[in-house]
Each structure stands twice: as C-alpha cells, then as structure tokens.
Structure 1
Amino acid sequence: MLIQSQDCNDYDQLASDQSLIDVMKHCLNTCIKPAASGVTYVRWGKKECPKGVELVYTGQVGGNSNSNKGGGVNYLCLPNDPENGKSLSRDNDQLFGAEYQTGSYHKPYEMTSNLFNKEVTCSVCYQRKRSTVLMIPGRKTCYKGWTFEYTGYIMSDYKDYSSKEYVCVDKDAEAVDNKTGDENGALFYGVKTKCGSLRCPPYTNAVDVHCVVCTK
C-alpha cells in the first residue's frame, strides 16, 4: 500500500504495524503546521502594552451610563479609528465614554491624583508566547509559574449606580487627553473591602484592592 500526503514524501507501507506508526508520526511532524498561539487582554488605563507585548490597538473605554437601569454592564475598549454605523432612530443610548472618579475619597493609594473627571484610556495587547491569561484580584504579584503582565487596582462604578464589571486598572493609569469635562457616563471608582462575609484576616477592612494580570 502507498501512503501519500501533500508536501510529504511517499512511503511504502511495510509489513509491520510499527513501520506504519513511524510513517504516520513522520507525516504529522512534517506536514501539519502548529496553530498560531497567543492570548489577548485589555490593559485598562494605559495607551501602550507592556514591553515585548504586541499592541493590537489603543483607544478609550466606553460603557453604559451610570444612571441607566438596564442594558450592558461590561466596559469596552473602543478603538480610536472606529468604522461608524448608520443612524438609529430609537432611544437606547448605552455607549458612553468612561471617566475616572478618583477624587480624594475614591482614589487608590498609588494612583496619580490628576485623573479626576478625565476620560479612561485602554489598549488591547497580544502576548504571542502564552496560551492563558488570568487576572488575580487581591494580589500585586503572580503565582509561581505565571508571567507578570501588569499590576493595578480593581475599579468599577459606584455602588449606588448601575452595576458594572470589576476591571484591573493599571496603577500608573493615564487619561485619553487633558480634557476635564465632568460629563459622567460610565465611571471608574476605586473599590474597597468590607469585612464580614469577606474573611478578615486574611483580608483587611476598608482598603483598596490590588490586582495583577498574569499569563502562562
């Protein structure tokens, strides 16, 4: 019997099963190209990716208004070069720009104080050398065997407003530009702990929450 495979040499099947197995192994090793690997993640609060990580695009954060009672709850990293759609007549405004609400009461400790009421930037990053990405709340460092991407603080909208997801905002966060408009929309507040059902220790009451993004 003759075994043929594209881009491989032809081989005569020999009598033994082992010979057939050897031929199959050869074709698998030489003819099948491995699939492209890598992972993407959003670096919230930064226009660039960490050193050595490919930038897919940079943009600004968008999300649902803090005053809306329904609709989307996740933040979006919107590119700076959108391909805009057509006019929609019905009233369903849900996509607003996001602003830092990092005044003296809601600012994580290490973050700069000049972000208040400025728009939140973001970048989408592609790490070619990894296959899994993990955001760990409550930590600044990765566990053994994981590679550090960036660290920051857990942020979300204010507890009395519409629900939003928790995201890890870079500790050295920056704004889209120097505009300060207080236009609200989607908002970013520092989040603090509340002991009770949250066990303290190991946690501590009323402190900001670190986070770290790791890949493997």
Structure 2
Amino acid sequence: MSLASAVYTRWGRTECESTAELVYEGIVGGGWYASEGSASNPLCLVREPKWNRYDDAVSNAAWIFGTEYRLPLDQFRLENPTKFQAANMPCSVCRTASRSTVIMVPGRNDCFKGWTLEYQGYLMAGHYSHKMASEYICVDEAPEATEAGFRDELGQTFFLVEASCGSLPCPEYVHGREITCAVCSK
C-alpha cells in the first residue's frame, strides 16, 4: 500500500477526476477586485463554515468576497455560455491516492512524459488594469457555476490570460492567444 499522496485545488469544478478523492467541494473566495490591500491568493472556501468567537459588527478587518468569471461567452464548451458571465466560481479540493507531487504547467494542456493529467484548462488571473494583485490559477476547461451567483457583484474577478509578445518569445507564443494549462501529478 502506497502512503504517497498530494492535494490540489480544481478551480471551476465541484468534483475531482476519477483517479482522485474529493476532500471537499466549495466556492472560490478572494479579495475585492479594486482594492489595493486585499490578499492576492484565491481560496477554496468550504460551503458550510463553522464559527468560533465572532462579532457581527463591521470592523477594521480583512474581507473575503465571492469570485466571478469574466469570460468571452464563446470561449469554453458550455451548454449555456451566457450564464457564466459574472457567475460565481466553484472549486474542489482533491487528493491523489498514489502520487506525491502536483504541479500546474502553464502553457500546456497536457503533461510531460511520466506525469498524470489531473485536469486541463485555461490560465486565469485578475485583469491587468485592476488594482488588486492576483495569482494565476488553472481553471478547468469545462467550468461550472455556483447556484448563488449571476448578480454581477464583482468581488474577486478572473479573466483569461492572453500572451503579450515582446519579452515573451513569439512565434512560440501568439499575441492575444489564451494560455492553456494542465495540472499534473507524479
């Protein structure tokens, strides 16, 4: 029996591939898109939080908001693409049973030889003109939306990442083309 395992977040989906165990499925949360002081990393929040001590009065604190897709309506293979513009993003935390390393490979939709594909998708991040910094994440190529979204409330927003030629080598990269990604384990 192998004791090796690794954990990764599958952004944009509520389940794991058949080779991984679902730890939990949740909703993506992050800082406000226009804030200069927000945390930059998105989190996969549990759907049913448990509270300890708390004070419901608004205070001088850090805040976390829901995360919304900002997608060209025909980019992904979606049954109803219009419902994804400003929809809230789900996530799942997955555990591999027999592999101890997980990497996200930007610029590829497959894995290097000897690695196992957990999922493939598109690189997404906050908009370049927004004040809030963000991380690059690999969002599943066939994303889902949460049932609580669709109100265009902003919060953290994720856009497709496109190549910008200049310091990136072109023609290997193509100016304005959306960057793929793969999450791989070994």
The TM-score with structure 2 as length reference comes to 0.91
Equivalent residue, structure 1, for 2:64: 95
* RMSD (Å) for aligned C-alpha atoms: 1.8
The aligned runs of 1:22-101 (5 Å cut-off) are 36-85=3-52, 86-87=54-55, 89-101=58-70
> Which 4+ runs in 1 deviate beyond 6 A?
none
Q: Residue 184 of structure 1 corresponds to which residue in structure 2? A: 154
Aligned residues: 180
Which of residues 76, 93, 102 is equivalent to 1:110? 76
Which residue type is aligned with residue 168 of structure 1? C
- In structure 2, distance between residues paired with 1:111 and 1:183: 24
**1:94, 1:53 → 2: CA distance?**
32
Residues 196, 80 of structure 1: alpha-carbon distance in 2 compared, 3 angstrom cutoff:
same
- Deviation, structure 1 residue 91: 2.6
How far apart, CA to CA, are the structure 1 residues paired with 2:19 and 2:116? 12
Q: Structure 1: which amino acid aligns with 2:184?
A: C
* Other-structure match for 1:148: 117
Distance 1:148 1:35, change over 3 A: closer
More displaced 10-residue stretch of structure 1: 193-202 or 88-97? 88-97
TM-score between both structures, scaled by the size of structure 1 = 0.78
State how far apart, in whole Å, the 2-side matches of 1:180 and 1:110 are: 17
| 2:140 match | 170
Q: Distance in 2 between matches of 1:138 and 1:126?
A: 24
Write the distance in 1 (CA, Å) between the matches of 2:114 and 2:23: 26
How much identity, in percent, do the aligned residues show? 38
Deviation of the 1:177 alpha carbon: 1.4
Q: 1:126, CA displacement in angstroms?
A: 0.4
Looking at both structures, which has the greater relative contact order when contacts are Cα pairs under 8 Å and sequence separation is at least 6? 2
Q: Which has the higher helix share?
A: 1
